[in-house]
Chains A and B, each alone.
Chain A
Amino acid sequence: EDQVTQSPEALRLQEGESSSLNCSYTVSGLRGLFWYRQDPGKGPEFLFTLYSAGEEKEKERLKATLTKKESFLHITAPKPEDSATYLCASSGGSYIPTFGRGTSLIVHP
């Protein structure tokens, strides 16, 4: 059974304080590892897809990396507008995406 575990469950940062969110996954035949951002009262917003170990993608202050067992979402010098819940999902041989519970990030000014 595919599993995705995200940590920490919640993270509070000061503006400018860089950190990383972790996504550990167990999947048979990884097709893709996805990161989404979800604001309160809204649907998830797609951020990145990673397909193979060693791959990295960047968007503004966010950088996603992938190993054979984990993915990290690095947030460099975060701003209050980066506050959101970040979701990780994996898709493997079953084609059905498995989502983690998410990391709730709050960035204080």
Chain B
Amino acid sequence: ETGVTQTPRHLVMGMTNKKSLKCEQHLGHNAMYWYKQSAKKPLELMFVYNFKEQTENNSVPSRFSPECPNSSHLFLHLHTLQPEDSALYLCASSQETGQVLGEQYFGPGTRLTVT
């Protein structure tokens, strides 16, 4: 595997379900991100992990819970979602120097539909 991989690619879940999205980066980067991309809206940053520590939580509802067990893996745990949470969820990674936000490498995304 190369680059940033995400599983599953597609997910349909009911509002009472619990599911998890997985992201793995094979680039040796030290920072990972979760983004939400909805139709006709800009990309929204959800969470940032730098050296496995969460450094940003961009006012995301608690029904989204991130987990970063190491610098290569990132999870997004989902529970009690709402239909408006249906979107493309993108994972990204970058090599951060602490000076400037570096270029980000994105995975293919998980298309989530909440019914």
Q: Which residues of A are at the interface with B, using a C-beta cutoff of 8 A?
A: 4, 31-32, 34, 36, 41-46, 49, 51, 87, 89, 91, 95-102
Closest to B111 in A: A41
Collect the chain B residues with CB atoms within 8 Å of residue A45's CB: 106
B42 lies within 8 A of A99 (CB) = yes
Minimum C-beta distance from B104 to chain A (A): 6
What is the total number of residues of chain B having a CB less than 8 Å from a CB of chain A?
A: 22
Minimum C-beta distance from A84 to chain B (A): 13
- Whether a CB of chain A sits under 8 angstroms from the CB of B74 is no
Collect the chain A residues with CB atoms within 8 Å of residue B103's CB: 34, 46, 49
Docked pose: A85 CA to B19 CA in angstroms: 30
Collect the chain B residues with CB atoms within 8 Å of residue A102's CB: 42
Closest to B6 in A: A43
Provide a sorted-by-A list of 14 A–B residue pairs whose CB atoms are within 8 angstroms: A4-B42, A32-B100, A43-B92, A46-B103, A51-B100, A89-B43, A91-B101, A96-B58, A98-B42, A99-B44, A100-B42, A101-B40, A101-B41, A101-B42
CB-CB under 8 A for A46 and B105, given A97-B45, A98-B42: yes
Docked pose: A51 CA to B100 CA in angstroms: 9
- Whether a CB of chain A sits under 8 angstroms from the CB of B53 is no
Docked pose: A97 CA to B56 CA in angstroms: 11
A32 lies within 8 A of B90 (CB) = no
Docked pose: A79 CA to B92 CA in angstroms: 28
CB-CB under 8 A for A43 and B100, given A4-B42, A100-B42, A101-B40: no
Collect the chain A residues with CB atoms within 8 Å of residue B43's CB: 44, 87, 89, 99
Q: Mark B32-52, 1 if CB is under 8 A from A, else 0.
A: 000000001111110010000
Known: A89-B43, A101-B40. 14 other contacts (CB 8 A): A31-B100, A34-B103, A36-B106, A41-B108, A42-B108, A43-B4, A44-B43, A44-B106, A46-B105, A95-B56, A95-B101, A96-B45, A96-B48, A99-B44
Docked pose: A97 CA to B106 CA in angstroms: 14
